[in-house]
Amino acid sequence: MNVKRIIRGIWFCLFVVIAFFGIFQATSKVVKAETFVDQSVLASPNPGIKLNGYFTTGTFAGNTAYVMNSNGVDIVRMTTGKNQTGAIWSNNDTNYLDVTKKQTISMWVYFGNIISTVGIPDGMAFVLQNDSRGAEAISKHGSIVNKGETLGVWGSDTDTGKTPIQDQAIQNSFALEFDTDINSGREPGNGFDTLKYNGKDYFGGQGHIAWALPAKATTYQKVSGGVLSSTYYAMIHNLGSDSATNGNGVDFSFSKSHYNSYRDAWKHVTIEYVPDADGKNAKINYSYDDKTYFGTPNPNGTLVKGTANINLDTFDLKGSKKLRYGFTASTGASSDITDAVIFESMPSLVDAEDNAYVVNKTNNTRIGNRSSDNAEVNQNVNLFDDQDSNLTTSKTAHPGDKLTFNYMMHFLSGETAMSGVNAKIDLPDNVAIAPDADGSIGKIYYRSFPDADGKVTTESASIGSDKISGKEVTCGLDDLGHSGKNWESARVALNVTAKDFPEGSSSTSMNVPASSAHFEGNNFVSDVNTDSFDIVKPANELQITTDMKDPTEVKLGNKFNLTGDISFKNPETVNKNDMYINYKIDDGPIVRSQDTSAGSKFTIYDLETGTGAGQLDVGSHTIEVQVIDNNYPMANGGVDTIASNKLDYHIKVTNQTVTVEPKDSLITVGNNEPLTLTGTYEHADGTSTAGEGGSSVIAYTITTADGTTQSEVSDSQANDGKYSLTLDPYAYKKDPSVSLDDYTGNTGLKVGKNIVSITVVDEEGHKSKPTEVTVNVPDITPSLTTKQDEFSIVQGDPINMTANVNYGNNYQFTPSKLTWYVDANGHKTINSYSGDESVATLSQDFTIDSTANGIDDDANNPYTVSVYFTDPYGRKSEELDYKVDVMEKTAMIESTDYKFKDINASASPRVIGRDGAWKLQVKSVMSKWTLTAKAGQMTTDQLGGDVPLDGSLIYVSPDDDVNDMRQQTFIQNNTDDSKIKTTDIGGSWEPDEGVLLDVNSSTLAGTYSGEVEWDLTNSV
């Protein structure tokens, strides 16, 4: 804005001259409305949408904005002369910004004709607002509309006594200003741009682009003008973060020369609104001069870009999701400037996205890989047709490659359908249109929104060769959106061929520039470009081969793999980490896979047969496979994309099955040995499998009585229609030294009902259904008996025992497969015994080491020995208990009272014999012994007092030796300690042997008695 300020006072004459010079300089920028340049620029508009009542000009008094149409384009003229304020607003009914959605608003802006770069007073502002005044909202103090530096949106400091500056602004608003003049006069109405922006730097001499919140007091700062100036307000500006594009020092000027066109006067602006997930905040990304009027990105890069982080409380929405958007503009008292806007989109009416990309049909790759950071306005760099989304990306093409240039439009949402859309496409150099057999140069593919059942409708329309003129293709699109055919997307696909290098050319590379597509409809305008790429001579050639059977037959329901080998025409090591494998089943979409294993062999794993989506049904199928290396190094240091030949695999999916016939379907086992199951199999149609040759895989699972299904066991056998399976009792191979409780094996037959499910897969993959055989294992408790369960042993002797085994019903068992558990006096052992012949009964002998098992003390008699066994099915026998008594090694004498024969008194000495048999025995237990004796004096009390016998006992040995027993006399000994025996000494004497009584002649009559002391020694 220009301000004329007169400095009064004679002594200030020098300053008056300076002020006058300043006014002269400023007024040199003033131009008259509707200059020739203005008229020419307005007559040369860039494409825009028809406003059709979706916008309304500001309803405040004095609004200068109005809509004009120039060459079919609606232009909003904001100002046309000095001292003006204009505003244009979305109607907030069908046209608004939805704060809950990501949306893009784009437009072209024009700031008037001027040659000087110092500034074009005063500028425009893009505004989002929820002012209660609606379309009447404008910057005012009282009833007066503010002009100049306020741009129609900020408050003014020319009259803040009555109304605070922030209250003059448009309320509940955000503004992005395109300030074409620096207001640095440090006085009311001319001091907004005197503070450091972003708190760092001062503005330069040109205009700037910055944002702030007009109705916030914190947006303004009161500044003292010094001794000679009054107090004024400055504004706190927010600019972009990158100093190169932050919006300071923007040259908004335009002058026509032979280096430019009038369309260059229009500058493109993009506003991208991105709500945060929390619903409380949002980002507003903005860019200025980001594309040319050709629709291509600015070759010099975006001039200005930045981001505003906004709390949605700023707008006081009170639950609404709508914001009014539009522009305000103003000029000063001496600024006769034309400001204008052309809108390209209204996101609430039509919110759409687009993309452009190139597919190389020769090697099934997608050229280019643009990141979202480099996306153009409305471009979604991940928007592809389904069949193109998984393609490997590449950076190059080869001469003669068949290419498809794709330009895609996707309707996201909107109050109305996208209607009247025409596409204008500029094809780049070094490619040529390739019409197909019917003369079409491409197709337009449409895809509908899913219906209530999720069904999608597709349709295509050919693009005739009459739609191309030179390098430009034009075609119309059906309406997109929820009307008509309910199309969600449209894709223009052009058939193109990469050109060959000119004959004699030594060049190794030709660049294909970006191809620009311009979509223009009644309510949406957008431009999008393909990535540029190079055409290069192939650096090498890939070749793939396979040794798979052709055709390969697969049973319906089975998975299968494809295998092959990769090589280079110019041999070198194959590194599959840089390669992708594309395959296509019949006419389906291309699927990308990768095999990063070492070596040149490759595998595509787990392809499925069946009747579901993506599965191969019964019949013949062709799977086209191609290997892509998109990182092959070129001699110039770049990388090339090379593709192999396309290799066809022929797959025959059959529903042929195998039937299995067991020899026996119900079996009850009668022994503990492995069970052999046999049977036959053939094709379901009765033909033999033998003709296939090779082998069959016979597999089975066992489901035991508790419902547990064991892991599958399989065996490869001759494919001759016969099978034989051997099933072990589950503990058959148990180590005999391992108890059943510690055995970890769990595969095999168990007690009770076993369901054996058998399947057969023949050489060509035909598979049977499971066939069941029931195997019953009797739940038997084997009996364990003995004829002797009590033992008396001499201390230290082994105990030899016998146990009799019987299952009953002639059930057979193998002795060596029984595991015996012996508990001898608490000492537990596990044993097995020999015997590999099946028997029905068994007398199992076993020996217990009494000493090792602590059976050695007769004081603890009786001892218990317990025995039982388990068999290969895990069955436990009855338990058998033995009792054991221990005897020590000893010898003991047994004797009684003895008598001699009665005799009459006699004067003659004589030897008197024994009266009857004397019981004199020695019982010995594995012991040697010696028996001696000594007799005392015999006496009688019948004669008054103890009267001794006149005589003594004698011992007459078998050798007739006579020994006086008044002395210690040897009787007999035993030298054999190997037996338990009783030696009958008294019974073995002859009448004239042994102990006799020798009496003298003087012996008096009477009954005599005495004692014999027997001495038995446990030794010889």
Average pLDDT over residues 715-741: 93
Largest Cα–Cα distance in the chain?
202
Q: How far apart are CA 118 and CA 205, in angstroms?
A: 6
pLDDT for 4? 31
User: For 273-335, where are the alpha helices, taking DSSP H only?
Assistant: none
pLDDT for 226? 60
pLDDT for 229? 63
Between 381 and 7, where is the model more confident?
Answer: 381
For residue 377, what is the DSSP state? T
pLDDT band, residue 860 (cuts 50/70/90): confident
Asked if the model's pLDDT at residue 27 lies above 60, the reply is no
pLDDT for 187? 86
Asked if the model's pLDDT at residue 491 lies above 50, the reply is yes
| Secondary structure element (H or E) that encloses residue 387, with its range | helix 386-389
Q: How far apart are CA 618 and CA 255, in angstroms?
A: 73
Residue closest to 48 by CA, chosen among 109, 128, 113: 109
Asked if the model's pLDDT at residue 670 lies above 90, the reply is yes
pLDDT for 24? 28
User: For 904-1017, where are the alpha helices, taking DSSP H only?
Assistant: none
Contact predicate 523/416, CB 8 Å? yes
Q: How far is CA 439 from the centre of its chain?
A: 49
Share of the chain above pLDDT 70, in %: 95
pLDDT for 414? 93
For residue 1006, what is the DSSP state? S
3-state secondary structure of 122: coil
pLDDT in tens, 966-995: 999 999 998 888 788 888 998 889 999 999
Lowest average pLDDT, out of 422-426, 668-672, 906-910, goes to 906-910
Contact predicate 303/206, CB 8 Å? no
Residue 5 CB: number of other CB atoms within 10 A? 12
Who contacts 838 (Cβ-Cβ below 8 Å, separation ≥6)?
Answer: 671, 673, 812, 813, 814
pLDDT band, residue 693 (cuts 50/70/90): very high
Average pLDDT over residues 937-944: 83
| Secondary structure element (H or E) that encloses residue 919, with its range | none
Asked if the model's pLDDT at residue 25 lies above 50, the reply is no
Asked if the model's pLDDT at residue 750 lies above 60, the reply is yes
Average pLDDT over residues 836-842: 94
Note if the bond before 122 is cis, omega within 30 degrees: yes
pLDDT in tens, 223-266: 986 656 678 999 999 999 888 889 998 988 887 787 788 999 99
pLDDT for 120? 65
Residue 1020 CB: number of other CB atoms within 10 A? 11
Q: Determine how β-strand 657-662 pairs with β-strand 767-768.
A: parallel
pLDDT in tens, 423-470: 999 999 999 999 988 889 999 999 999 999 999 999 999 999 999 999
Lowest average pLDDT, out of 508-512, 574-578, 915-919, goes to 915-919
Lowest average pLDDT, out of 56-70, 546-560, 800-814, goes to 546-560
Strand partners, 129: 173, 324
pLDDT in tens, 609-630: 999 988 999 999 999 999 999 8
Residue 39 Cα distances to 70, 124, 745, angstroms: 10, 19, 97
pLDDT band, residue 20 (cuts 50/70/90): very low
pLDDT band, residue 1008 (cuts 50/70/90): confident
pLDDT band, residue 1020 (cuts 50/70/90): low
pLDDT for 11? 31
Measured torsion, CA atoms of residues 706, 707, 712, 718, in degrees rounded to the nearest 10: 90
pLDDT in tens, 70-123: 999 999 999 988 899 999 999 999 999 999 999 999 999 999 876 544 446 689
For residue 53, what is the DSSP state? T
Between 648 and 1004, where is the model more confident?
Answer: 648
pLDDT in tens, 277-303: 999 999 999 999 999 988 889 988 889
Q: How far is CA 556 from the centre of its chain?
A: 29
Residue closest to 730 by CA, chosen among 868, 871, 837, 835: 871
Rounded to two decimals, the pTM is 0.62
Q: How far apart are CA 782 and CA 919, in angstroms?
A: 52
pLDDT for 227? 55
pLDDT in tens, 889-899: 777 888 888 89
Q: How far apart are CA 566 and CA 575, in angstroms?
A: 10
Average pLDDT over residues 725-746: 90
Please, what is the average pLDDT of the chain?
Answer: 90
Q: How far apart are CA 990 and CA 699, in angstroms?
A: 89
Query: Tokens 């009555």 correspond to what residue?
Result: 162
pLDDT band, residue 217 (cuts 50/70/90): very high
